[in-house]
């Protein structure tokens, strides 16, 4: 099963939902980082090279997960020494899908924007944190089509230790 996970907030003009600014998250929401870690731990995660390289050095690759990095750069490599962590580098969506089809587990797509857009048509589940407020945004969230995805669960309004309001929604693909 392919799942996708991201946090999104409104841009400053309030007309689009975004996921990043200058290669980083536009908000400080430690509870969502913990939610992300707890949700993806022990699973495989798919990301683009830019997302992989935007992870803080000590966090790269994400510990306790199989990290699948998609890059067009056939010479890209990355050395690391972390137990219980695997890094797979693939050079296309097709190669990624071929590798992932051999896994018998839930796989999480974790970004960036182009990877989300490439995988939204394959996703069975979306786990989305809606962050209240407006933010400087230069990277945008994929569109969630209500004809394709329906809300399975909603955390309701939560308040971070930083004072930011947020909610976590889980969407599942509608059956035909």
Read off the tokens for 3. Answer: 């799942």
pLDDT value, residue 129: 98
Measure the CA–CA gap between 64 and 43, rounded to whole angstroms: 8
**All domains in the chain, ordered by first residue:** 2-173 (3.40.430.10)
pLDDT value, residue 84: 82
Strand pairing partners for 130? 8, 167
pLDDT value, residue 82: 85
Give the pLDDT means over successive 10-residue stretches in the chain (176 positions): 96 92 94 97 96 89 94 92 89 92 92 95 96 95 95 97 97 91
Check if the beta carbon of residue 137 is closer than 8 Å to that of residue 22: no
């Amino acid at each position: 099963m392919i799942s996708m996970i991201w946090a999104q907030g409104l841009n400053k003009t309030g007309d689009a939902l975004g996921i990043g600014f200058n290669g980083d998250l536009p908000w400080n929401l430690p509870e969502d980082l913990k939610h992300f870690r707890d949700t993806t731990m022990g699973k495989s995660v798919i990301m683009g090279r830019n997302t992989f390289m935007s992870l803080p050095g000590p966090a790269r690759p994400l510990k306790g997960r199989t990290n699948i990095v998609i890059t067009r750069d056939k010479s890209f490599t990355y050395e690391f020494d972390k137990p219980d962590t695997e890094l797979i580098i693939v050079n296309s969506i097709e190669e990624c899908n071929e590798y992932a089809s051999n896994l018998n587990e839930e796989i999480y797509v974790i970004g960036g924007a182009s990877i989300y857009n490439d995988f939204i048509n394959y996703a069975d589940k979306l786990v989305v944190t809606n962050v209240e407020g407006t933010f400087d945004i230069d990277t945008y969230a994929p569109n969630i089509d209500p004809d394709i995805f329906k809300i399975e669960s909603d955390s309701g309004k939560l308040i971070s230790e930083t004072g930011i309001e947020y909610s976590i929604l889980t969407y599942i693909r509608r059956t035909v």
